[in-house]
């Protein structure tokens, strides 16, 4: 992900008084509307007709940019949804000439492609959320299939010659007033996307691209988030396809083809894949420039290629990057109303965890070889062991990051063996990773919001502004414990020092109020004073939450300060467990484990 998000997403200036002010880059649709209203008057009807076509392509390009620029996966076959929208809308409009009832079928031209997109994305991403390249190839294959089907199924599509005689949009003339319909749709899609990107849903979309694993560890089903975004992008493409059918009066298999799919990608890259307005203008700019070059220059494709290379080379954020440099369209709006965050979704009341003969192997290497241990009830425990003993792997297999080969993991009486990270998190498990894991391009405040929303935010709420103003007493108490974070709420999380990033991830881990907290070396890289502070904070927060915590720690003095029982792992098994004094007196432990002091 590039460095767009902290600046472009709603930036919350949370002052010490609790007043929250948001910067809204909402002027862009207004500027677009003014430009589109002026266009027919400063040019002529023919130019407006041409621009309308490229605006239509631009709306579909906005869908590609949403997936690619925001969520980080690249759809290579978006023309499939464009073509489906065009054929379905064209068919419905033609049928409506005979029977007006067919008008009611028009929304299906948008909803069916969106539904298809949702199903495909669910199937692909549910299997593995790291399937971005496969996803691109699958969408590519689908558009090729769509092209073939459109060519072969001539009884419905008109085959190679296409579906012709599609009527105009009622009350408009395709060479004149239809421009206003298209312009209104372009402004509408740009406005709606802008709003969505400034809502919690948009923040989560960006978070998916930056650190999907972290999001899953909060309990967000990222495969569903991605599928929903893909469905939205297909809806845009299908809507554009429907507009295209009425604009051209004919739909041919080329509207579903691979070439158009690639053009969407190029237009998004040139315009700016992270900006709805940029993507729209990318299609208009390149499309119009191509048509002009085509008429005046035999090697016009070379010209388009040079433009593409120049923009990608000198403007990695596309044309939208220019607008950002000029700081176009920023103004402050009224503060978001602050309300207490709703309670987290109900979790099991008991705390119990049992590993039963858990085995994990990867690439022929045995990582866990029958690990068994259990814990009951709240309180702090430490996990120690020499390097490579399997401590992190024990956390990994429990949180869906390593596959379980044999054995069982039981959490609060439920078998969670092999469960995905987000399902385990929703059972009240919070995890902090060994290397602090945050959303680097988002501000500290936005990182905290995402953690606060975990277990509280439904799909509908994610589209409203209200969660942007959610407050929580725990959030304030945590910021009191780590005042340096409060001072840096507007900073990019990626720019924080190692110590502050450790603090931020710890705060984020406990904000969703987990019942079981897994902390992997929370003091790594901290100075002795910071280590002391972190341990006190862990004890305070875990005690306040009434949670159980497992802390992986190498430093025996830190283990002593944390207190509680100690589990000693060695070669993927539990060597022994007991109080620190018992552990230190155990000859077997002394033989394998040497703790170092900071």
Which parts of this chain interact with ligand ATP (CB under 6 A)? 362-363, 365, 367, 385, 387-393
**Strand partners of residue 358:** 371
Provide, rounded to whole angstroms, the least separation between the CB of residue 390 and ligand ATP: 4
Provide, rounded to whole angstroms, the least separation between the CB of residue 574 and ligand ATP: 12
Backbone angles phi, psi at 534, to 5 degrees: -60, -45
Provide, rounded to whole angstroms, the least separation between the CB of residue 595 and ligand ATP: 12
Provide, rounded to whole angstroms, the least separation between the CB of residue 366 and ligand ATP: 8
CB closer to ligand ATP, 4 vs 433: 433
CB closer to ligand ATP, 6 vs 389: 389
Provide, rounded to whole angstroms, the least separation between the CB of residue 522 and ligand ATP: 13
CB closer to ligand ATP, 214 vs 273: 214
Cα–Cα distance for residue pair 401/388, rounded to 1 Å: 17
Provide, rounded to whole angstroms, the least separation between the CB of residue 581 and ligand ATP: 23
C-beta separation of 329 from 27 below 8 A: yes
C-beta separation of 112 from 231 below 8 A: no
> Who contacts 576 (Cβ-Cβ below 8 Å, separation ≥6)?
568, 583, 586, 588, 589
Buried b (16+ CB within 10 A) or exposed e, 146-184: bbebbbeeeeebbeeebbeebebbeebebeeebbebbbe
Neighbours of 107 (CB within 10 A): 13
Provide, rounded to whole angstroms, the least separation between the CB of residue 354 and ligand ATP: 19
Cα–Cα distance for residue pair 14/488, rounded to 1 Å: 10
**What's the burial of 401, exposed, middle or buried (CB within 10 Å: 0-12/13-18/19+)?**
middle
CB closer to ligand ATP, 418 vs 458: 418
Helices (H), 199-257: 200-217, 222-248
| Residue 468 DSSP class | G
Provide, rounded to whole angstroms, the least separation between the CB of residue 362 and ligand ATP: 4
> Which residue shows structure tokens 């909402």?
26
C-beta separation of 371 from 407 below 8 A: yes
C-beta separation of 146 from 264 below 8 A: no
Provide, rounded to whole angstroms, the least separation between the CB of residue 365 and ligand ATP: 5
CB closer to ligand ATP, 29 vs 595: 595
| Residue 283 DSSP class | H
Provide, rounded to whole angstroms, the least separation between the CB of residue 391 and ligand ATP: 4
CB closer to ligand ATP, 177 vs 361: 361
Provide, rounded to whole angstroms, the least separation between the CB of residue 372 and ligand ATP: 16
> Which residue shows structure tokens 């990626």?
494
Provide, rounded to whole angstroms, the least separation between the CB of residue 398 and ligand ATP: 12
Cα–Cα distance for residue pair 110/84, rounded to 1 Å: 9
Cα–Cα distance for residue pair 168/175, rounded to 1 Å: 10
| Residue 586 DSSP class | -
Buried b (16+ CB within 10 A) or exposed e, 8-26: bbbbbebeeeeebebbbbe
Provide, rounded to whole angstroms, the least separation between the CB of residue 434 and ligand ATP: 6
CB closer to ligand ATP, 150 vs 367: 367
CB closer to ligand ATP, 99 vs 387: 387
Lookup: tokens for 465: 């502004």
Cα distances (angstroms) measured from residue 30 to each of 119, 182, 288: 35, 16, 22
CB closer to ligand ATP, 104 vs 435: 435
Cα distances (angstroms) measured from residue 378 to each of 349, 475, 540, 547, 550: 11, 21, 13, 5, 10
Lookup: tokens for 572: 């993927």
CB closer to ligand ATP, 166 vs 552: 552
Cα within 13 Å of Cα(219), Cβ side: 26
């Amino acid at each position: 992900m590039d460095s767009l998000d902290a600046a472009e997403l709603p930036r919350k200036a949370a002052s010490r008084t609790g007043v929250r002010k948001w910067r809204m880059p909402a002027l862009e649709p207004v500027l677009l509307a003014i430009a589109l209203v002026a266009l027919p008057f400063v040019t002529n009807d023919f130019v407006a007709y041409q621009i309308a076509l490229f605006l239509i392509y631009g709306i579909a390009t906005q869908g590609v940019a949403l997936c690619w620029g925001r969520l980080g996966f690249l759809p290579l076959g978006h023309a499939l949804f464009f073509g489906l929208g065009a054929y379905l809308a064209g068919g419905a409009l033609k049928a409506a000439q005979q029977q007006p009832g067919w008008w009611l079928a028009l929304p299906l031209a948008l909803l069916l492609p969106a539904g298809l997109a949702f199903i495909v994305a669910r199937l692909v991403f549910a299997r593995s959320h790291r399937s971005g390249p496969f996803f691109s190839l699958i969408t590519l294959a689908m558009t090729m299939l769509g092209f073939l089907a459109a060519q072969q199924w001539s009884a419905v599509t008109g085959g190679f010659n296409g579906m012709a005689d599609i009527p105009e949009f009622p009350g408009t003339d395709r060479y004149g007033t239809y421009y206003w319909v298209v312009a209104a749709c372009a402004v509408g899609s740009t406005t709606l996307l802008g709003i969505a990107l400034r809502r919690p849903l948009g923040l989560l979309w960006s978070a998916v691209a930056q650190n999907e694993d972290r999001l899953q560890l909060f309990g967000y089903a990222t495969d569903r988030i991605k599928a929903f975004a893909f469905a939205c992008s297909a809806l845009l493409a299908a809507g554009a396809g429907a507009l295209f059918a009425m604009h051209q009066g004919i739909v041919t298999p080329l509207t579903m083809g691979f070439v158009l799919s690639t053009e969407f990608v190029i237009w998004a890259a040139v315009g700016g894949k992270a900006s709805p307005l940029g993507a729209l203008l990318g299609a208009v700019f390149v499309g119009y420039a191509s048509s002009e070059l085509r008429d005046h220059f035999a090697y016009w494709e070379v010209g388009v290629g040079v433009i593409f290379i120049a923009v990608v080379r000198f403007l990695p954020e596309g044309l939208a990057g220019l607008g950002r440099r000029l700081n176009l369209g920023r103004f402050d709006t009224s503060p978001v109303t602050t309300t207490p965050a709703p309670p987290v979704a109900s979790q099991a009341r008991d705390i119990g965890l049992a590993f039963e003969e858990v085995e994990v192997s990867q690439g022929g290497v045995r990582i866990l070889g029958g690990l068994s241990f259990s814990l009951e009830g709240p309180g702090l425990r430490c996990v120690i062991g020499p390097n490579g003993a399997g401590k992190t792997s024990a956390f990994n297999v429990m949180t869906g990051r390593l596959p379980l080969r044999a054995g069982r993991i039981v959490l609060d009486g439920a078998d969670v063996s092999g469960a995905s990270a987000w399902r385990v998190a929703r059972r009240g498990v919070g995890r902090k990773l060994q290397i602090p894991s945050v959303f680097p391009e988002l501000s500290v405040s936005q990182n905290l919001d995402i953690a606060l929303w975990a277990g509280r935010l439904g799909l509908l709420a994610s589209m409203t502004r209200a969660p942007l103003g959610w407050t929580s007493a725990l959030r304030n108490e945590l910021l009191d414990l780590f005042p340096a974070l409060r001072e840096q709420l507007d900073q990019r999380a990626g720019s924080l020092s190692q110590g502050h990033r450790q603090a931020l991830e710890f705060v984020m881990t406990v904000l969703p109020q987990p019942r079981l907290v897994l902390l992997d070396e929370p003091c790594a890289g901290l100075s002795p004073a910071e280590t002391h502070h972190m341990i006190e904070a862990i004890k305070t927060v875990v005690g306040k939450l009434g949670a159980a915590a497992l802390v992986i720690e190498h430093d025996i003095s830190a283990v002593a300060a944390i207190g509680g029982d100690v589990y000693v792992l060695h070669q993927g098994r539990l060597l022994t467990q007991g109080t620190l004094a018992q552990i230190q007196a155990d000859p077997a432990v002394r033989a394998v484990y040497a703790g170092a002091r900071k």
